[in-house]
Amino acid sequence: MLTLARAGCALTLCLAGPAAFAAERSPLVRPYVSVDAPTLALTHVRVIDGTGAPPAADQTVLIANGRIQAVGPSVAIPPDAKVLDLTGRTVFPGLVMLHEHLFYPAGENAYNQQEISFPKLYLAGGVTTMRTGGSLETYTDLNIKKAIDEGTRPGPAIDVTGPYIEGPGLPILSVKALRDTGDARRMVEYWSGEGATSFKTYMHVTRSDLRAVVEAAHARGHKVTGHLCSVTFREAAALGIDNLEHGFVVASDFVKDKKPDVCPDSKDMTAALLALDPDGAEAVSLIDALVKAKVAITSTLPVFETLVPGRPPATDRALDALLPEVRDQYLRIRSRVAVDDKSPWPKLFEKELKLERAFAARGGLLVSGTDPTGYGGVVPGFANQRQLELLVEAGFSGVEAIRIGTLNGARYLGIDDRVGSIAAGKQADLVVVEGDPSQRIADVEKVETVFREGVGYDPKKLIDSVKGVAGLR
Q: Applying CB under 5 A, which part among 68-76, 125-133, 262-270, 359-367 lies near Zn ion? A: 125-133
SS (H, E, C) the chain: CCCHHHHCCCHHHHHHCCCCCHHHCCCCCHHHEEECCCEEEEEEEEECCCCCCCCEEEEEEEEECCEEEEEECCCCCCCCCEEEECCCEEEEECEEEEEECCEEEEECCEEEECCCHHHHHHHHCCEEEEEECCECCHHHHHHHHHHHHHCCCCCCEEECECECEECCCCCCCCCCECCCHHHHHHHHHHHHHHCCCEEEECCCCCHHHHHHHHHHHHHCCCEEEECCCCCCHHHHHHCCCCEEECHHHHCCCCCCCCCCCCCCCHHHHHHHHHHCCCCCHHHHHHHHHHHHCCCEEEECHHHHHCCCCCCCCCCHHHHHHECHHHHHHHHHHHHHHHCCCCCCHHHHHHHHHHHHHHHHHCCCCEEECCCCCCCCCCCCCHHHHHHHHHHHHCCCCHHHHHHHCCHHHHHHHCCCCCCCCCCCCCECCEEEEECCCCCCHHHHHCEEEEEECCEEECHHHHHHCCCCCECCC
Of residues 133 and 398, the one with the C-beta less far from Zn ion = 133
In the complex, minimum distance from the CB of residue 250 to Zn ion, in angstroms, rounded to a whole number: 11
Choose between 134 and 151: whose C-beta lies nearer to Zn ion.
134
State how far the Cα of 388 lies from the Cα of 391, in Å rounded to an integer. 5
Minimum distance from CB of 153 to Zn ion (Å)? 23
Q: Which stretch binds Zn ion (CB under 5 A): 129-137, 206-214, 346-354, 381-389?
A: 129-137
Smallest gap, in angstroms, from Cβ of residue 246 to Zn ion? 8
403 Cβ contact partners less than 8 Å away, ≥ 6 residues apart = 50, 51, 52
Residue number, 92 or 330, with CB nearest to Zn ion: 330
Largest Cα separation within the chain, whole Å, is: 71
Q: In angstroms, give the least distance from the CB of 300 to Zn ion.
A: 7
Q: How many residues does the chain have?
A: 473
310 conformational bin, left if phi > 0, alpha if psi -120 to 50, beta if neither: left
Q: For Zn ion, give the closer residue by CB, 166 or 371.
A: 371
**Identified binder of Zn ion from the candidate list 126, 133, 162, 247, rule CB under 5 A:** 133
Select 45 or 383, whichever has its Cβ closest to Zn ion.
Answer: 383
Q: How far apart are CA 292 and CA 284, in angstroms?
A: 12
Instruction: Work out how close the CB of 303 gets to Zn ion at its nearest, in angstroms, rounded to a whole number.
Output: 8
Least separation, in Å, of the C-beta of 380 and Zn ion?
Answer: 12
Site for Zn ion in 361-380 (CB under 5 A): 371
Stretch that binds Zn ion, among 127-135, 155-163, 231-239, 396-404 (CB under 5 A): 127-135
Q: Of 89-97, 130-138, 175-183, 385-393, which segment contacts Zn ion by CB under 5 A? A: 130-138
Q: How far is the CB of 233 from Zn ion (least distance, A)?
A: 17
Segment interacting with Zn ion (CB under 5 A) among 59-67, 86-94, 118-126, 128-136: 128-136
Cβ closest to Zn ion, residue 133 vs residue 156: 133
Instruction: Closer to Zn ion by CB, 42 or 301: give it.
Output: 301
- The number of residues that bind Zn ion (CB under 5 A) is 2
Nearest to Zn ion of 154, 226 (CB atom)? 226
Stretch near Zn ion under the rule CB under 5 A, chosen from 12-20, 131-139, 380-388, 425-433: 131-139
Of residues 133 and 264, the one with the C-beta less far from Zn ion: 133
The region of 24-32, 126-134, 181-189, 455-463 touching Zn ion under the rule CB under 5 A is: 126-134
Taking the complex as a whole, how short is the minimal distance between the CB of residue 272 and Zn ion, in angstroms? 22
**Nearest distance from residue 299's CB to Zn ion, in Å?**
13
* Nearer of residues 352 and 371 to Zn ion, judged by Cβ: 371
Q: Which is nearer to Zn ion, 32 or 164 (CB)?
A: 164
| Residue 172: CB minimum distance to Zn ion, A | 11
Q: How far is the CB of 134 from Zn ion (least distance, A)?
A: 6
226 touches Zn ion (CB under 5 A): no
Chain residues binding Zn ion by CB under 5 A are: 133, 371
